[in-house]
């Protein structure tokens, strides 16, 4: 168990940065560290008056915003357990998570609450709006009065002496993060205060930030990656965090980067690759540039201009861009490294809160995901970890407690010696650099950092009458569902190819109405033969990716 403590980091940061700006919503509204401290103080009072006990669950759903961040910090410093939920989960999925986690209170944007049915949430006692901290739902008049009173207290004078100082033990549960929404795939990752503290300790040592540094939060805060490195860690360092609160398109991000000039930037590969494809690749493909790149010294001039252009695109003030979630295109990586552009690739997963490996951009190696973080130990489950691919195993301070109310799934991923079986494959060189060779898990990373689990989509597709089996893959045009139809039914109906394709298009549109936007399928592609299977009759996904 670590000696450091996350709640102590929070109280110290608020006291040390009292008059500095902590949070800003990109389009309106800011909070100083003092105002965040005041909000936390009165939220704690509200929790107590509502009868909230330590260890009870508070769900949190909404767009990235300062109010989301305040509710989060108030929850975990009170000793309650936060249950962050992606705002683009379907209403059924959200209701399932609230019920499965046994959440008794919730903070939500009004738009997210309006599509839910309180009658289907029997343990939920009150819902507070993230738009204005008013009650959206309560089980009694007394709770509504307490919530309304809380809002009025936010304008009161507040001194450092009133700031809560309670320390939540590292052994206590911090958060339950659901890696998916639907019932059949629910895995609520239980992270302790020790897990989060481990991530903070490593970040503070290896990704140094100082008070006043600007951070742009645009990855989903309901995910471990964006939450830990764009929010929790910068807050403990006294940074000024701006929440984008919108879909992070490359155009919007470039505009926001230019205005905010962030000091540390997180990204998923797709964002970097889109900016590269739009701004850099057309230049490199010009005949004149291709010729000059072959001339000694001239290539350095061109690469220098590329570095300058990219640096300006990201605001010009960052010391590093950390890319996570998936492998970056090798062509992009090669050009960026030749240009000495300050980027690096890390590796993590929700079950580690999320950090597993990282190396600063000066030490990073081509195609490597860095070295194992200090709070963990790592090994490759193979007879020769340098040359023979094996499963990546980790154990240590960052590793989760387990999956909430799912002992079977916990036993499948955590062995008796404490090793977490990541399900990912890789090698590790003699100096400890990790090279991820493939994801044995089939998770797909969405454009904005969302985890997409194709099995969830396939389960819905396979329920359609004319579908025998399907597999969802990530292609240039987006998610594509490869469909092998029920040929007996097709033959019985004497269907022509164009008729089958028309029905599949109807299926696709129906499917997309039932799932979140980021999971929607761009195309149904009919295949003429069954998918190849393993002896266990599982589809060999790697043949179709």
Q: What angle do CA 28, 88, 240 make, to 5 degrees?
A: 35
pTM: 0.84
CA distance between the termini of the chain: 41
Residue 360 CB-half CA count within 13 A: 11
CB atoms within 10 A of CB 291: 10
**Would strands 21-25 and 30-32 be described as parallel, antiparallel, or unpaired?**
antiparallel
Fold match, 6-195 / 250-439: yes
pLDDT for residue 535? 46
Determine the 3-state secondary structure of 433 from DSSP: strand
Listed by start position, the domains of the chain span 6-195, 250-439, 453-543
Secondary structure percentages of the chain, helix, strand, coil, to 5: 40, 25, 35
pLDDT for residue 439? 59
Q: What angle do CA 84, 90, 92 make, to 5 degrees?
A: 95
Q: Which residue has the tokens 């850099």?
A: 280
pLDDT for residue 37? 97
**Would strands 126-129 and 135-138 be described as parallel, antiparallel, or unpaired?**
antiparallel
CATH architecture label of 6-195: 3-Layer(aba) Sandwich (3.40)
CA distance 458 to 477: 18
pLDDT for residue 62? 96
Which parts of the chain sit beneath pLDDT 50? 182-183, 535-536
Q: Which residue has the tokens 């509710």?
A: 71
Spatial neighbors of 274 by CB under 8 A, at least 6 apart, are 250
At the topology level, CATH places domain 453-543 in: GMP Synthetase; Chain A, domain 3 (3.30.300)
pLDDT for residue 438? 64
* Helix intervals (H) in 115-249: 141-153, 193-206, 224-227, 233-236
The phi-psi region of residue 107 (left if phi > 0; otherwise alpha if psi is between -120 and 50; otherwise beta) is beta
Q: Which two tokens stand for residue 46?
A: 């509200």
CA distance 315 to 378: 35
Spatial neighbors of 436 by CB under 8 A, at least 6 apart, are 327, 347, 369, 392, 424, 425, 426
Phi, psi torsion values for 127, nearest 5 degrees: -130, 130
Spatial neighbors of 90 by CB under 8 A, at least 6 apart, are 181, 514, 515, 516
Spatial neighbors of 450 by CB under 8 A, at least 6 apart, are 86, 88, 220, 223, 516, 518, 519
- The CATH code for residues 250-439 is 3.40.50.12780
pLDDT for residue 183? 45
pLDDT for residue 536? 44
pLDDT for residue 142? 82
């Amino acid at each position: 168990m670590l000696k450091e403590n996350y709640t102590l980091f929070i109280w110290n940061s608020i006291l040390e940065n009292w008059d500095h700006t902590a949070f800003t919503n990109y389009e309106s509204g800011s909070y100083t560290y003092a105002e965040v401290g005041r909000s936390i103080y009165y939220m704690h009072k509200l929790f107590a008056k509502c009868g909230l006990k330590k260890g009870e669950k508070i769900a949190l759903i909404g767009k990235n915003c300062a109010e989301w961040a305040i509710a989060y910090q108030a929850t975990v410093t009170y000793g309650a357990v936060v249950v962050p939920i992606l705002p683009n989960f379907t209403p059924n999925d959200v209701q399932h998570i609230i019920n499965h986690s046994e959440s008794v209170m919730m903070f939500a944007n009004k738009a997210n609450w309006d599509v839910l049915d309180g009658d289907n949430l029997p343990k939920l006692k009150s819902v507070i709006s993230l738009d204005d901290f008013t009650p959206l739902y309560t089980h009694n008049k007394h709770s509504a009065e307490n919530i309304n009173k809380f809002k009025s207290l936010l304008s009161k004078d507040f001194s450092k002496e009133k700031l809560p100082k309670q320390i939540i033990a590292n052994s206590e549960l911090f958060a339950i993060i659901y890696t998916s929404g639907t019932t059949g795939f629910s895995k609520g990752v239980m992270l302790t205060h020790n897990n989060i503290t481990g991530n903070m300790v490593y970040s503070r040592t290896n990704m140094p930030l100082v008070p006043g540094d600007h951070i742009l939060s645009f990855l989903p805060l309901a995910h471990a990656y964006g939450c830990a490195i764009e929010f929790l860690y910068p807050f403990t360092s006294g940074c000024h965090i701006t929440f984008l609160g919108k879909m992070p398109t490359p155009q919007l991000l470039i505009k926001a980067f230019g205005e905010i000039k962030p000091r540390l930037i997180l990204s998923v590969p797709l964002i970097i690759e889109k900016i590269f494809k739009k701004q850099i690749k057309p230049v490199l493909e010009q005949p004149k540039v291709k010729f000059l790149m072959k001339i000694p010294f001239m290539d350095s001039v061109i690469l220098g201009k590329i570095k300058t252009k990219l640096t300006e695109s990201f605001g010009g003030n960052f010391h590093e861009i950390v890319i996570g979630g998936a492998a970056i295109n090798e062509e992009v990586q090669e050009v960026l490294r030749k240009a000495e552009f300050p980027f690096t690739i890390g590796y993590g997963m929700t079950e580690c809160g999320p950090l597993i490996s990282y190396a600063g951009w000066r030490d990073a190696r081509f195609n490597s995901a860095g070295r194992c973080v200090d709070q963990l130990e790592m090994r490759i489950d193979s007879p020769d970890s340098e040359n023979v691919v094996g499963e990546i195993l980790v154990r240590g301070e960052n590793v989760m407690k387990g999956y909430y109310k799912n002992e079977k799934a916990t036993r499948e991923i955590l062995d008796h010696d404490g090793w977490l079986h990541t399900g990912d494959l890789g090698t590790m060189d003699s100096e400890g650099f990790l090279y991820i060779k493939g994801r044995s898990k089939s998770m797909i990373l969405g454009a904005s950092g969302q985890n997409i689990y194709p099995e969830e989509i396939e389960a819905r597709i396979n329920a359609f009458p004319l579908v025998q089996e399907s597999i969802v893959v990530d292609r240039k045009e987006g998610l594509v569902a490869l469909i092998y139809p029920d040929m007996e039914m097709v033959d019985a109906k004497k269907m022509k190819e164009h008729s089958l394709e028309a029905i599949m298009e109807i299926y696709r549109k129906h499917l997309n109405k039932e799932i979140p936007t980021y999971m929607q399928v761009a195309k149904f592609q009919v295949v003429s033969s069954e998918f190849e299977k393993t002896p266990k009759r599982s589809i060999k996904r790697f043949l179709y990716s």
